[in-house]
Amino acid sequence: MLKKQRVDFILNRLNELYPAPPIPLAHKDPYTLLIAVLLSAQCTDERVNQVTPALFNAADNPFDMCTVPVDTIYNIIRPCGLAPQKSKAISTLSQILIDQHQGIVPEDIAALEQLPGVGHKTASVVMSQAFGQPAFPVDTHIHRLAQRWGLTNGKNVVQTEKDLKRLFPKDCWNALHLQIIYYGREFCSARGCDGRVCDICTTCYPNRKKPLKTKKA
């Protein structure tokens, strides 16, 4: 199967399985989404969704968050891991939003990436899911599947993002990155598929004989 054929098949199959993929992190506005995505680093979405109700009950906007002691934030978000760094980042970025952006999350990826604890992937998620701007956030799971499906050479997530953006139409990026995540969790997980098990892997590479060793991000 040629790469163009793989791309078309993957897109059609994912649209069949997940025609309207929901945003997995509970939130009510760009600020709460930003905080939830920040917390999701090296943590499951399920765990984040268990933690954020208590955090947002204490403060769900930057003005209120700045009045919450960092130790209090830390104690609430401890289950998410990396709590010392994340609690400081949440407090500091909230103050920056007030000082530099009138308390509003900027609809600008460069400005988002300048916030503490916010990398390119987090900023891309916010641009995509909060503001509806075309973006293709690539995490380790998308990176793994893109290699299994022959869509990238697998050097790193930066290269994978460039390759996926080049292969897929811009108007499908926002849904597609969620669709790949859901598919990876359900059918093509790190341990559940080695490139020879799930429907997409076996359709794209029916003659693959050996497990595919993917390169880590």
pLDDT 10s digits, 127-166: 999 999 999 999 988 999 999 999 999 789 999 999 999 9
pLDDT digits (tens, 9 = 90+) for 19-49: 999 999 999 999 999 999 999 998 999 999 9
Burial environment of residue 97 by CB neighbours within 10 A (0 to 12, 13 to 18, 19 or more): buried
Per-residue pLDDT, 154: 78
Per-residue pLDDT, 88: 98
**Catalytic site residue from 64, 99, 139, 215:** 139
Cα–Cα dist 134/169, whole Å: 10
Is the pLDDT at 217 greater than 80? The verdict is no
Per-residue pLDDT, 1: 86
Is the pLDDT at 215 greater than 90? The verdict is no
The contacts of residue 103 (CB under 8 Å, 6+ apart) are 61, 62, 63, 97
**Catalytic site residue from 4, 71, 99, 121:** 121
Is the pLDDT at 202 greater than 90? The verdict is yes
Q: What is the DSSP letter of 172?
A: G
pLDDT digits (tens, 9 = 90+) for 75-91: 999 999 999 999 999 99
Question: Using only C-alpha atoms, what is the Rg of the chain?
Answer: 18
Cα–Cα dist 153/180, whole Å: 17
Is the pLDDT at 182 greater than 90? The verdict is yes
Q: Catalytic: 86? A: no
The residue assigned the tokens 């969790």 is 185
Per-residue pLDDT, 216: 82
Residue-range domains of the chain with CATH: 3-21+136-204 (1.10.1670.10), 30-129 (1.10.340.30)
Per-residue pLDDT, 121: 95
Is the pLDDT at 16 greater than 90? The verdict is yes
Q: Phi and psi for 20 in degrees, rounded to 5?
A: -140, 75
Q: Catalytic: 99? A: no
pLDDT digits (tens, 9 = 90+) for 94-123: 999 999 999 999 999 999 999 999 999 999
